Homo-oligomer: A and B are copies of this chain.
Amino acid sequence: MSDVAVVLVEPQGPLNIGSVCRAMANFGFSDLRLVNPQTDHLCEDARQMAVKAGGLLELAQIYPTLAAALSDRQYALGTTRRFGRYRDDFLAPHEAAQCLGELGQISTALVFGREDCGLLTEELDLCQRFITIPTSDDFPSMNLAQAVSLCLYELAKVGAITASVSSVELADNADVENMFAHMRTSLTNIEYLVESNPDHILRTYRRIFGRAGLSPRDVKVLRGLWRRIGWLYNQLEEKGTENR
Contact = CB atoms under 8 A, between A and B. Distances in A.
Interface of A: 15, 19, 22-23, 25-28, 49, 51-53, 87-92, 94-95, 132-136, 138-143, 145-146, 149-150, 153, 156-157, 160, 163-169, 187, 190-192, 201, 204-205, 207-215, 217-218, 221, 224-225, 228-229, 232-233, 235-236, 239-240, 242-243
Nearest to A136: B28
A19 B143 contact: yes
Contacts of A22: 139, 142-143, 146
A102 to B, nearest CB: 11
A204 B221 contact: yes
A168 B217 contact: no
Given A169-B88, A224-B192, A236-B235, A212 B215 contact: no
A146 B19 contact: yes
B27 A229 contact: no
Contact of A142 (B23, B139, B142, B233): B23
Contacts of A89: 168
Copies in the complex: 2
Contacts of A134: 156-157, 160, 163, 165
A190 B229 contact: yes
Contact of A136 (B25, B139, B211, B225): B25
A243 B240 CA distance: 10
B88 A167 contact: yes
A23 B232 CA distance: 55
A94 B157 contact: yes
Q: Nearest 10 A-B pairs (CB), nearest first? A: A25-B139, A239-B239, A212-B212, A211-B212, A192-B228, A146-B149, A26-B135, A88-B168, A28-B136, A208-B212
